[in-house]
Amino acid sequence: MFLEHTGSRTHRKGWIEVICGSMFSGKTEELIRRLRRAEFAKQQVEIFKPSVDTRYAEAEVVSHDASSIRSTPVPNSSNLLLLASDIEVVGIDEAQFFDDGLPEVCAQLAEQGIRVIAAGLDMDYQGRPFGPMPRLMAMAEYVTKVHAICMRCGDLANFSHRMTASQDLILLGETDSYQPLCRSCFLAQRNSAEASAATDKAHRE
């Protein structure tokens, strides 16, 4: 489990933490756990999420187990610089949906003495590194990768398999559209999808 390092109270130092993983890996729950601990320590806490994530009520970070903390939807990572300047701990949820400026914005906040905790999907449904996450992970002091359980074999899962045919990168995560899979089940699934696509094509020709 991640434990906060305890810095000097007089000289405030900032840093970046990243919590990443697949769908159903508990990223948001871990973000909320860290933020609640900071709240108990009477620190100024604020959460932001990209305004593209409108799955649930506006102005709320909601995790799948319904323990939620209020948050502010923002359209662009540069908005964080204005909104977060007086805050000690900045939480960012669904970080993968932010623009490419997010890692530099997080670095600027950390340089101002702010603790930044960003949670997001590290890979998209095709297993490709997702949006600003790779740079953010490279620039962070602490990276925590959390895992789901593979729905086919029960191993640890780090891929988010999409069960619908949509090619849209921003398809928001309802439980019925994604399955967490381990590498070998993800590969097996992709190979069988490619095989059946080839059969369909052969039938059409």
Q: How far is CA 168 from the centre of its chain?
A: 18
Beta strands in the chain (DSSP E): 15-21, 45-50, 60-62, 68-70, 72-74, 89-92, 115-121, 142-146, 148-149, 156-157, 159-162, 178-181
* Residue of the chain from 19, 47, 87, 185 that contacts Zn ion (CB under 5 A): 185
* Residue of the chain from 18, 115, 150, 179 that contacts Zn ion (CB under 5 A): 150
Phi, psi (rounded to 5 degrees) for 183:
-60, -45
Q: Which stretch binds Zn ion (CB under 5 A): 50-58, 96-104, 151-159, 197-205?
A: 151-159
- Nearest distance, CB of residue 157 and Zn ion, angstroms: 7
Nearer Cβ to Zn ion (109/182): 182
39 catalytic residue (yes or no): no
Q: Any idea which residue has 């101002």 for tokens? A: 112
Question: For residues 118 and 19, is the Cβ–Cβ distance under 8 A?
Answer: yes
**Listed residue (98, 169, 104) closest to 135, CA to CA:** 104
| Rounded Cα distance, 152 and 18, in Å | 28
145 binds Zn ion (CB under 5 A): no
Nearer Cβ to Zn ion (15/186): 186
Out of 30, 94, 174, 194, pick the active-site residue.
Answer: 94
152 binds Zn ion (CB under 5 A): yes
182 binds Zn ion (CB under 5 A): yes
Nearer Cβ to Zn ion (88/155): 155
Residues 6 or more apart in contact with residue 33 via CB below 8 angstroms? none
153 binds Zn ion (CB under 5 A): yes
42: left (phi over 0), alpha (psi -120 to 50) or beta: left
Q: Which stretch binds Zn ion (CB under 5 A): 2-10, 16-24, 80-88, 181-189?
A: 181-189
Nearer Cβ to Zn ion (26/180): 180
148 binds Zn ion (CB under 5 A): no
Nearer Cβ to Zn ion (60/155): 155
- Nearest distance, CB of residue 187 and Zn ion, angstroms: 10
Give the footprint of Zn ion on this chain (CB under 5 A): 150, 152-153, 155, 182, 185
